[in-house]
Amino acid sequence: MTHQPIRKAVFPVAGLGTRFLPATKAIPKEMLPVVDRPLIQYAVDEAREAGIEQMIFVTGRGKSAIEDHFDIAYELERTMTDRNKDISVLEPTRLGPGNCAYVRQQEPLGLGHAIWCARDIVGDEPFAIFLPDEFMHGSPGCMAQMVEAYHRLGGNMISVLEVPHEKVSSYGVIAPGKSHGAVTEVLGLVEKPKAEYAPSNLIISGRYILQPDVMRVLERQEKGAGGEIQLTDAMAQMIGKQAFHAVTFDGKRYDCGTKVGYIEANLAVALGRPDMADDVRAIALDLLR
């Protein structure tokens, strides 16, 4: 059976990034670099690897740096070219008019509301969602792994990771059904359960493939936890009505929404880079003395 391809991805990037103040007072948190690439660039590169063609950014006030990043920097490129400097490093940052769109979330009403703001651009086709704070590091990328499973099974997909049982209370957790390799049937979703009541230790980890029906669910969704429109609540309503599976990501996840996770991501990426790994390892060992 052929399933409708995943051509579009939504990036909800309207958050204020208050955990990283004052660094994020004038710079979007999604523009914070992991070594030498912004978090949002890693997410877009992951989407491209998965065959996604159009990037939809749900922004807010003060997020113009994201638009500038994916635009052509004429003055910079001309100056570098005149000085015989290689500008190929900028190639991944160029998104043409047909490959990106921007829409405003005018009120901070939650992740579900942010996704709903993109409804007119998404249209009536399945789409991916990327939370750039969730830095998914691996090859092939998380979304490429999910798209491969989607081509076989269709329906809705979420990425999950195994964590120790004592840590599940900090995350959304799936109630699992049958498993086939890395793919697990989803029977239910529980938001931040107590460890003793958690249906599994598989946590939702910031990547989604959803059918367009979720937009109609979000249209009539009432506010949930924190007075916000929750995407998890909308997805829970679709379970049992459509195919719903989880893909256990074969790679590493770094929670760059926290300072410790962000530092860990920088160290991990730097230690994996041949041009700096030895120097960074020596620095880290020296600091630990």
**According to the CATH classification, is domain 8-257 in 3.90.550.10?**
yes
Looking at residue 50, the DSSP 8-state letter turns out to be T
- State the pLDDT at residue 284: 93
Q: Where are the domains of the chain?
A: 8-257, 258-289
**Closest alpha carbon to 4 in 171, 165, 141, 122:** 122
- State the pLDDT at residue 171: 82
Instruction: Write out pLDDT tens, residues 162-200.
Output: 888 888 888 888 888 898 889 999 998 887 888 888 888
Give CA–CA dist 213/141, Å, rounded: 26
Six-digit token string for 193? 């359960």
- State the pLDDT at residue 226: 59
Q: Per mean pLDDT, which range of 93-107, 240-254, 257-271 is the poorest?
A: 93-107
Six-digit token string for 30? 């999604």
Residue with the bigger pLDDT between 231 and 54: it is 54
- State the pLDDT at residue 224: 60
Is the pLDDT at 225 greater than 80? The verdict is no
Report the chain's terminal Cα–Cα distance, integer Å: 59
- State the pLDDT at residue 223: 64
Instruction: Write out pLDDT tens, residues 107-144.
Output: 877 888 999 999 999 999 999 999 999 999 999 999 99
Is the pLDDT at 286 greater than 90? The verdict is yes
